[in-house]
Amino acid sequence: MRCSRNRGAERFGNGCSSAAARRMRLIFSAPFKSTTRQMRKTLSNLLTVTCVTCLLTSGCTESQRPSGPDGSPAAADANLAPRAERVLTREERDQLTPDEVLDSLKQGNQRFVAGTLTSRDHSKQVRSAALGQFPKAVILSCLDSRIPVEDVFDRGIGDLFVARVAGNFANTDILGSMEFGCKVSGSKLILVLGHEHCGAISGAIDDVELGNITAMLANIRPAVDHFADYQGDKSSANEEFVHMVAEQNVRSTIAGIRKNSPILADMESNGQLKIVGGMYHMDTGTVTFFEE
């Protein structure tokens, strides 16, 4: 019996119409099943990618880190240095003693040598320091580019006054800057920082003459002349002699500060200020301090 074309839609459940219905179901259900499997697979992949992305970003997002008492993110691990987001206030600086400032520089240098420098939000510190500064120390350093002074002592924006000149000597301009930093602005410490393998020291030892460098090196000559009785090779080829002169140059600079600046000498005698020296070691980054 042939199925009536006109009545086939009414007879899906009976006779030959049932076979036709099965064929139609197979024809139409096959692509639907394939499409459904593909959609499920695609959705599963999307969900996996989304979950992994959420886990990664939630672990690294700055805003989700725990905050410290000053509003800066607290370290989640003891090996992570704290993140400093603000600068020193006048009240905080004024409460410090010269010895405490010196200790903070020593501790900062230890962190520098260990490679655990404090993480800082410099952009925020720049904005915070825009209307005022309250540094706790003045550092006189050589011009040498291998000595990043703030990093050497793990200090940030607004923490230090830094004066730089080849040979780290104190002329009238440097003395005036120190008086401003200490007497006017309130810094508690002056550190004269020399270093190993100093080109300016070597130039002074060898009596280099070149343009304005000649007059500049004259400021270092007293440290060279201090060793008039030295029996060894008094040239820059003798590393021991160069180091001796570099250390003496720091000591001579400290003596010159006290002699040529009554303001700073009075502050030191009254306990408001401490004047110390140090030598930076190129190979390790360590600063050796000496107080006189």
If asked whether residues 18 and 113 sit together in one domain, one would say: no
Please compute, for residue 80, the number of CA atoms within 13 A of its CA located in the half-sphere on the CB side.
Answer: 11
pLDDT tens profile 93-119: 999 999 999 999 999 999 999 998 887
Q: Of 219, 213, 273, give the one whose Cα is nearest residue 249.
A: 219
If asked whether residues 103 and 220 sit together in one domain, one would say: yes
Domain membership flag for residue 139: yes
If asked whether residues 148 and 253 sit together in one domain, one would say: yes
Cα 111 from Cα 89, distance rounded (Å): 23
Q: Of 109, 108, 166, 102, give the one whose Cα is nearest residue 138.
A: 102
pLDDT at residue 129, as a whole number = 53
If asked whether residues 56 and 88 sit together in one domain, one would say: no
Domain membership flag for residue 44: yes
For residue 230, pLDDT beyond 50: yes
If asked whether residues 56 and 126 sit together in one domain, one would say: no
Domain membership flag for residue 208: yes
For residue 166, pLDDT beyond 80: yes
Across the range 59-81, mean pLDDT stands at 39
CATH of the domain at 191: 3.40.1050.10
178 φ/ψ angles, rounded to the nearest 5 degrees = -65, -40
If asked whether residues 43 and 121 sit together in one domain, one would say: no
Structure tokens, 231: 């029996």
Cα 193 from Cα 141, distance rounded (Å): 5
Range of the domain at 35: 12-60
Which pTM was predicted? 0.70
